[in-house]
Amino acid sequence: MTDALQVERLTKTFPGFTLENISFSVPTGSVTGLIGPNGSGKTTTIKLILNLLKKDTGTITVLGLDHMKKEQEFKERIGVVFDTHFFVDDWKMPDVEKAMGMFYRNWDTGAYYRYLERFQISRGKRVRELSKGMQMKLMLACSFSHKAELLILDEPTSGLDPVSRDEMLDILLEYTDDKKHSVLFSTHITPDLDKIADQITFINKGKLFYTGEKVNFTRRYSIVSGSVKQLSPDIKALTPNIKIYPDSFEALVETEYLPGLSGLQTRSAAMDDIIVFISKGEVLS
Ligand SMILES: Nc1ncnc2c1ncn2[C@@H]1O[C@H](COP(=O)(O)OP(=O)(O)OP(=O)(O)O)[C@@H](O)[C@H]1O
């Protein structure tokens, strides 16, 4: 399978923060979720891909094109959705159409109005009169109308109600259904990724913690719990990721070690469990 996006050994240093040696890919036809706690480097990674920030080192290939040498070419072939829209607030839908049509060679006016109809956005509305969910859909309509092959989305569902979020996720699933279109999706809302992601890339404090298939990410970890008396040196040796409560404890352990731990309660780890335990990375009490 080819990759819609390849990021290799990407590094960027700001005062007090380094995004360090990040490598991951978005296989064509997949949805890749980019996750990590606040300040871990997700938006920085996206801005570096888009050349909105200048990388220190590393290579980035978008749809087979070097992101610096072929910037204009790759930008014509991708769609970008941030958590706030990038249109002029006063524009009506035909104004959006005109602006986008000037920018994209592949622009399809008919498709744009068909998407507006499908997403129930009326032509006479101004951008500022659209709800947040509608604004997100408008950005998607624009991406689809210039036939974007890859969507790069930075927290597109934050601030959406559950109904709008669900609609947005269905639109993305439909978009990748032909296995030709791909999505990179940064989010804190992991249930969204449970629903649509094939791959996960988890960045923690600027470092890559995991990249690969979603199922392997959650299968790799389990949560064990028991009374404080059961918190043996064996468990402490297995994992630094332990939460201690007044009478009990919970720990994140690699699933392969479960057979050696008897008498404890175990459950599968959800994506949020893994993020919380790993981002703390120490005994918590
Ligand atoms: N232009 C900049 N100049 C200096 N520091 C920056 C700049 N942009 C980001 N940072 C720092 O880089 C770190 C990573 O920020 P980034 O926005 O990439 O995190 P994030 O994972 O997207 O976080 P969030 O989930 O809160 O959006 C933070 O410490 C931030 O302060």
Residues 89 and 227 in one domain: no
- How far, in Å, from the CA of 46 to the mean position of ligand 1? 11
Q: Whose CA is nearest to atom 24 of ligand 1?
A: 38
- CATH number for 206: 3.40.50.300
Check: complex ipTM more than 0.95: yes
Domain residues for the domain of 252 are 221-280
Report the alpha-carbon distance of residue 164 to residue 97 in Å, rounded: 23
Q: Using 50, 70 and 90 to split pLDDT, how confident is the model at 284?
A: very low
The most confident of 163-167, 211-215, 237-241, by mean pLDDT:
211-215
DSSP state of 71: H
Residues 77 and 34 in one domain: yes
Residues 92 and 164 in one domain: yes
pLDDT at 281: 65
Q: Whose CA is nearest to atom 10 of ligand 1?
A: 14
Total number of domains constituting the chain: 2
Residues 40 and 147 in one domain: yes
Q: Report DSSP letters for 184-237, one per residue.
A: EEE-S-HHHHHHH-SEEEEEETTEEEEEEEHHHHHHTEEEEEEEGGG--HHHHH
Residues 209 and 225 in one domain: no
Residues 184 and 247 in one domain: no
Using CA atoms, how far residue 268 sits from 190, 239, 264, in Å, is 15, 16, 13
Q: In this structure, is residue 285 part of a structural domain? A: no
Residues 93 and 177 in one domain: yes
| pLDDT tens-digit series, residues 34-85 | 999 999 999 999 999 999 999 999 999 999 999 999 999 999 999 999 888 8
Residues 199 and 226 in one domain: no
Residues 213 and 246 in one domain: no
- How far, in Å, from the CA of 186 to the mean position of ligand 1? 13
Residues 206 and 233 in one domain: no
